[in-house]
């Protein structure tokens, strides 16, 4: 379980194919000694299990393996050496829930179709599949590349958000441009409400 509050921006050191899918090594500021093998870390919003960890000089790193289904549904298949990745370690009991409850189970991808710079914010408009759009209401929560964001407007298959300078400075969002795909996880509460509504009809 995560909150969508990015706690580090990692850098891909290596990406290589394996029989099960893909193995990636990610440099980070987390202390390698404090990372348990088998721990969950959201990488670009996708929950991954740590399979190895270590330190090269002063640089800490950990490795994850991505299965074929993950590669099919998310942007992980596009990862390459040098890319920056939003990271968040799993939520511990008693931690502050600063964003919203995020599972790290990405539903699919959304594409940035508009980016507009404002003096104190950046406006981003996205398009996604209808099957996901119905769970994204105006003023609701959505996780994009592992970042908990508030939906500004939602219409049809599109929705928009505003990013404040702080969010841009501590995540990879300053790198994102129109045409880029991002990982999308809809709010699980929206899913529960929709499912309950099906049985109440």
Query: Which residues are CB-contacts of 65 (< 8 A; sequence separation ≥ 6)?
Result: 18, 20, 21, 22, 23, 24, 48, 49, 51
Backbone angles phi, psi at 195, to 5 degrees: -65, -45
Is 33 in a helix, a strand, or coil? helix
Provide the annotated active-site residues: 2, 40, 47, 49, 67, 105, 150
The DSSP code for 58 is: T
Residue in 153, 137, 45 with CA at minimum distance from that of residue 99: 45
CB 148 within 8 A of CB 110: no
Alpha-carbon Rg of the chain, whole angstroms? 17
């Amino acid at each position: 379980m995560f909150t969508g509050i990015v706690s580090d921006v990692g850098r891909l050191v290596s990406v290589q194919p394996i029989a099960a899918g893909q193995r990636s090594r990610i440099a980070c500021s987390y202390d390698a000694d404090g990372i348990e093998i088998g721990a969950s870390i959201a990488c670009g919003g996708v929950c991954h299990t740590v399979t190895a960890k270590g330190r090269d000089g002063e640089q800490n790193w950990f490795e994850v393996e991505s299965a074929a289904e993950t590669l099919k549904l998310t942007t992980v298949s596009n990862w390459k050496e040098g890319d920056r990745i939003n990271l968040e370690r799993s939520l511990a009991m008693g931690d502050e829930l600063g964003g919203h409850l995020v599972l790290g189970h990405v539903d699919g991808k959304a594409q940035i179709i508009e980016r507009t710079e404002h003096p104190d914010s950046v406006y981003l408009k996205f398009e996604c599949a209808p099957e996901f759009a119905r769970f994204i209401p105006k003023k609701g929560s959505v996780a994009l590349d592992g970042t908990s964001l508030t939906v500004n407007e939602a219409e049809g298959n599109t929705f928009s958000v505003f990013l404040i300078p702080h969010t841009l400075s501590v995540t990879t969002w300053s790198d994102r441009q129109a045409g880029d795909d991002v990982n999308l996880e809809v709010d699980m509460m929206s899913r529960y409400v929709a499912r309950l509504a099906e049985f109440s009809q």
